[in-house]
Amino acid sequence: MSEVQPDGAVVSGLSVRIGEAVLVDDVTFTAPAGAITALIGPNGAGKSTLLRALVGAVPLAGQAVVTLASEELTGMSHRERARRVALVEQDGAADVARPVLDVVLLGRTPHRSRWGGDSPGDLELASEALERAGVAALAERDFATLSGGERQRVHLARALVQQPRLLLLDEPTNHLDVAAQLQVLRLTRALARSGMTVLAALHDLNHALRYADHVVVLAGGEVVATGDPRDVLTGELVGEVYQVRATRVQAAGHDLLVMD
């Protein structure tokens, strides 16, 4: 499905410049609600920069407008935006010497009054998120002692308790073993099916083909294609964008890309 739904995210004319360098160049696309949009493109294409720009972590150049469910995100305070948008970064903070549960509860910060502590509802959300991310057994562990894959899933749990409408994932399967990759991709699909707008930078094009409903292809900071992954991710386009030989095949009932 790739038709535009009004309650998704609409990004229009988004650019990021640092000094003379144009990292993201006048990017326009839609991420439909209730769907996973895969953001793909070679190393250095601008994927992480774009995701960070959507949470206000890097300044925008020019006249960008970003709306989510018809509300304009650009111009919102950090706190207002954080109630609506969560980002799980590729290598989130690693050296936090606090129990995992406390790290996950940080996701409630934008919803809390300035002086409020953790409510029973917050604790319930945190334990549910730890369960869904497959790391409930780690709740009492010191976050700094976790493996890369465990940390990544705890960061995902933190993003879930933020209860975002728009979930941004930067390489969510990066440090994960194959079983954990599938668990995270299936969880992501379930979140999208429950109405969330998910925008995920993915390196594995076969994950994009299998799990994404919509794809945005970025190269050199520009959008070069958007649409249904099965239409967009042809051998020809992938070959051109990544400068490889790519062929689409069918195996075990799935579309697959084989690269050499």
Ligand X SMILES: Nc1ncnc2c1ncn2[C@@H]1O[C@H](COP(=O)(O)OP(=O)(O)OP(=O)(O)O)[C@@H](O)[C@H]1O
Beta carbon of residue 157, minimum distance to ligand X (angstroms, whole number): 23
State which residue, 204 or 255, has the beta carbon closest to ligand X: 204
User: Where in 54-83 is the site for ligand X (CB under 6 A)?
Assistant: none
What is the C-alpha to C-alpha distance for residues 197 and 30, in angstroms, rounded to an integer?
A: 10
Q: Are 202 and 215 in contact (CB under 8 A)?
A: no
Distance, in Å, from the CA atom of 208 to the CA atom of 143, rounded to the nearest integer, reads: 30
- Interface pick for ligand X out of 23, 27, 60, 61 (rule CB under 6 A): 23
**CA-based radius of gyration for the chain:** 18
In angstroms, the first-to-last Cα distance of the chain is 29
Could you say which residues in the range 225-254 bind ligand X, by CB under 6 A? none
Task: Phi first, then psi: give them for residue 166, nearest 5 degrees.
Answer: -120, 120
> C-beta of 213: minimal distance to ligand X in Å?
21
Give min distance, CB of 19 to ligand X, in A: 7
Residue 244 Cβ vs ligand X, minimum distance, rounded to whole Å: 15
Nearer to ligand X, 47 or 132 (CB): 47
Residues 121-160 close enough to bind ligand X by CB under 6 A: none
Q: Where are the alpha helices (DSSP H) in the chain?
A: 47-54, 78-82, 100-105, 120-132, 148-161, 178-193, 205-211, 229-232, 235-242
If the CB atoms of residues 46 and 134 are measured against ligand X, the closer one turns out to be: 46
The only residue of 1, 3, 21, 97 in contact with ligand X, by rule CB under 6 A: 21
Angle at 5 between CA 78 and CA 45, to 5 degrees: 60
Beta carbon nearer to ligand X, 17 or 189: 17
Question: Mask: binding to ligand X, 172-191, rule CB under 6 A, as x and -?
Answer: --------------------
Name 51's Cβ contacts closer than 8 Å, sequence gap at least 6. Answer: 39, 87, 89, 168, 170, 199, 201
Residue placing its CB nearer to ligand X in the complex, 39 or 103:
39
Residue number, 159 or 241, with CB nearest to ligand X = 241
What is the nearest approach in angstroms of ligand X to the Cβ of residue 152?
15
Give the binding-site size for ligand X (rule: CB under 6 A). Answer: 11
- Which residues between 36 and 55 bind ligand X (CB under 6 A)? 41, 43-49
Pick from 18, 93, 94, 144: which binds ligand X (CB under 6 A)?
Answer: 18
Burial-class residue 59 by CB neighbours within 10 Å (0-12, 13-18, 19+).
exposed
Structure letter (DSSP) for residue 201:
E
DSSP string covering 99-129: BHHHHHHGGGGGGS-TT----HHHHHHHHHH
Distance in Å, CB of 255 to ligand X, minimum? 23
The C-alpha atoms of residue 38 and residue 35 are separated, in whole angstroms, by 10
Q: Which residues bind ligand X (CB under 6 A)?
A: 18, 21, 23, 41, 43-49
